[in-house]
C-alpha cells in the first residue's frame, strides 16, 4: 500500500525541495522521504509560529497537523509569486505516486500514467522498478485488450452507419494491441504523422505507410513544419539526413525547398489520403510565409492548458487564390506524385479541370 501513498519502499529520499521566499524573509520548504511513507511541509509564519503538515500515507493513520492557524496566517503573507511556487510544490507532491488507490476498494491499486517519470519511481530499487514496469505494460497494453476490442466492434459500426463520411481513426499515442486489427476489420483509416511514428524508429517513413491511412507532416496538436524545424535543430538534422535522404548540413530554417521535400515525400506515400495543414502549404512560398514567425503558426499546444486555439492566418483566402505561382507549385507536386490526373483549374487559364478526374 505504500506505493499508493507516496511511492513507498526504496532507499534514500525522494523529496522535493522547493524553498520559498515570501515577504518578511519567512522561509518555507516542501520535502519528503519515500522510505518513511510521509510528506511534510515546514516553515515559520510571519508571526514567528511554526507549522508541520504530514500527509497520510494510506496506512490508516490520520494526517497530523500542527499549528494550522500559523500555516493559514503564513499563506496570507505570501506574495503572488510565492503562492504559485507553493502551489506548484504541493501539486508535485500530490502527483508523485506510482499507484492509484481504487476509490471503492482500499486494497486495490492501479498504475498511473507515466509512473516512470515520478520521483517515487526513481527512489525504488531496480527489482521493484522492473516489477512496476511489467505491471504497467500488462495493465495498459494487454490485460484489457479484449475489452477494448469488444467495445470498439460494438460502438463504432453504428457511428459509421450514421454518416456518409469516411471515418478515420487517430491511432497515435498509447494503443492497445488490438487497435490495428480492429481498424482493419471495421475499414477505418489510421493516421500517420511523421514525427509521431507508429512502431519503431524516430520518424515515420511515408513510403512504407499502409494504403488505409491518412498521412500528414503535422497536425493541430503539433507544431507545423517550420516551427518544429527551428525549435529542434538536432532532430531536424536527423530527419534531413535520414528519411529525406539529403547530404550535408541542413538549413537552419525550414526554407521552401525543405518544406517542398517533406510535402513531396508525403504525396508520394501509399496512403489513401495525404492531408496538409495550410501552414505547411503556404510555407512553400517565401512570399506567403513572410510576416508570420514560425512559432505563431501552432494551432494547439496540448501540454499547455493556457494555449488557446487562437491562431489566425495572416493572409486572406483571396490573397492565396490570387497567387497562381504558389497554386501551380502545389498542383505540380500533386500531379508528379500520381495523385492527380488531368488538368488543374488554376493553371490552365481559369478553365475547369478536364481530361480526367480530380
Q: What is the pLDDT of residues 184-206, one digit of tens each?
A: 999 999 999 999 988 778 999 99
Do 196 and 128 lie in one domain? The reply is: no
- Residues 138, 199, single domain; the answer is no
Is 195 in the same domain as 298?
Answer: yes
Examine the domain organization and report whether 101 and 234 are in the same domain: no
> Is 268 part of a structural domain of the chain?
yes
**pTM of whole model > 0.75?**
no
Query: How many domains does one find in the chain?
Result: 2
Same domain, 125 and 211: no
Residues 111 and 211 in one domain: no
pLDDT bin (cut points 50, 70, 90) of residue 78 is confident
- Would 275 be classed as within a structural domain? yes
Both 232 and 309 in a single domain? yes
Average pLDDT, integer, range 51-65: 42
pLDDT of residue 145: 92
| Higher per-residue confidence, 90 vs 26 | 90
288 and 230 co-located in one domain: yes
CB 40 within 8 A of CB 62: no
In a domain, 69, yes or no: no
| Distance separating alpha carbons of residues 139 and 54, to the nearest angstrom | 31
Instruction: Give residues with Cβ within 8 angstroms of 280, minimum separation 6.
Output: 217, 218, 224, 225, 226, 259, 262, 263
pLDDT of residue 119: 86
Q: Say whether both 137 and 212 belong to one domain.
A: no
Asked whether residue 229 is domain-assigned, the answer is yes
Residue 310 lies in a domain: yes
* pLDDT category of residue 215 using cuts at 50, 70 and 90: very high
Distance CA 233, CA 231 (A): 6
Single out the residue in 109, 125, 142 at which a domain terminates. Answer: 142
* Mean pLDDT in residue range 99-127: 92
What's the pLDDT score for residue 350? 43
Q: In the predicted model, what is the mean pLDDT of residues 324-329?
A: 94
Mean pLDDT of 256-264: 95
pLDDT for 76 equals 76
Percent of the chain with pLDDT over 70: 74
Question: Which residue range forms the structural domain that includes residue 123?
Answer: 78-142
Same domain, 192 and 329: yes
Closest CA to 210 of 223, 196, 191: 191
Which residues have C-beta within 8 Å of that of residue 106, sequence separation ≥ 6? 58
- Specify whether 103 is located in the same domain as 221: no
Residues 206, 290, single domain; the answer is yes
Question: Quick one: which of 242, 247, 320 has its CA closest to 278?
Answer: 320
Amino acid at each position: 500500500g505504500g506505493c499508493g501513498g507516496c511511492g513507498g519502499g526504496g532507499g534514500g529520499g525522494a523529496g522535493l525541495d522547493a524553498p520559498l521566499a515570501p515577504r518578511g524573509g519567512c522561509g518555507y520548504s516542501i520535502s519528503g522521504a519515500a522510505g518513511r511513507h510521509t510528506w511534510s511541509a515546514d516553515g515559520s509564519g510571519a508571526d514567528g509560529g511554526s507549522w508541520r503538515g504530514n500527509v497520510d500515507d494510506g496506512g490508516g493513520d490520520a494526517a497530523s497537523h500542527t499549528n494550522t492557524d500559523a500555516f493559514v496566517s503564513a499563506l496570507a503573507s505570501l506574495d503572488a509569486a510565492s503562492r504559485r511556487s507553493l502551489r506548484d510544490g504541493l501539486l508535485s507532491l500530490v502527483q508523485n505516486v506510482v499507484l492509484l488507490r481504487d476509490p471503492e476498494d482500499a486494497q486495490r491499486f492501479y498504475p498511473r500514467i507515466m509512473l516512470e517519470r515520478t520521483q517515487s519511481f526513481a527512489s525504488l530499487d531496480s527489482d521493484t522498478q522492473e516489477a512496476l514496469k511489467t505491471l504497467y505494460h500488462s495493465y495498459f497494453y494487454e490485460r484489457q485488450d479484449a475489452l477494448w476490442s469488444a467495445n470498439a466492434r460494438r460502438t463504432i459500426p453504428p457511428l459509421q452507419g450514421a454518416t456518409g463520411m469516411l471515418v478515420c481513426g487517430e491511432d497515435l499515442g498509447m494503443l492497445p494491441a488490438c487497435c490495428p486489427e480492429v481498424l482493419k476489420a471495421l475499414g477505418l483509416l489510421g493516421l500517420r504523422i511523421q514525427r509521431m511514428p507508429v512502431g519503431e524508429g524516430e520518424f515515420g517513413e511515408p513510403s512504407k505507410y499502409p494504403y488505409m491511412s491518412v498521412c500528414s507532416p503535422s497536425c493541430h496538436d503539433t507544431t507545423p513544419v517550420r516551427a518544429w524545424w527551428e525549435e529542434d535543430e538536432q532532430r531536424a538534422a536527423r530527419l534531413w539526413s535520414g528519411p529525406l535522404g539529403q547530404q550535408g548540413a541542413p538549413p537552419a530554417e525550414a526554407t521552401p525547398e525543405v518544406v517542398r521535400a517533406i510535402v513531396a515525400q508525403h504525396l508520394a506515400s501509399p496512403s489513401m489520403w495525404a492531408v496538409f495543414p495550410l501552414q505547411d502549404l503556404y510555407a512553400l512560398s517565401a512570399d506567403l510565409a513572410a510576416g508570420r514567425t514560425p512559432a505563431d503558426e501552432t494551432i494547439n499546444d496540448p501540454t499547455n492548458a493556457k494555449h488557446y486555439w487562437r491562431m489566425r492566418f495572416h493572409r486572406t483566402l483571396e490573397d492565396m487564390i490570387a497567387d497562381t505561382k504558389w497554386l501551380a507549385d502545389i498542383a505540380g507536386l500533386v500531379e508528379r506524385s500520381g495523385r492527380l490526373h488531368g488538368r488543374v483549374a488554376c493553371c490552365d487559364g481559369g478553365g475547369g479541370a478536364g481530361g480526367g478526374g480530380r
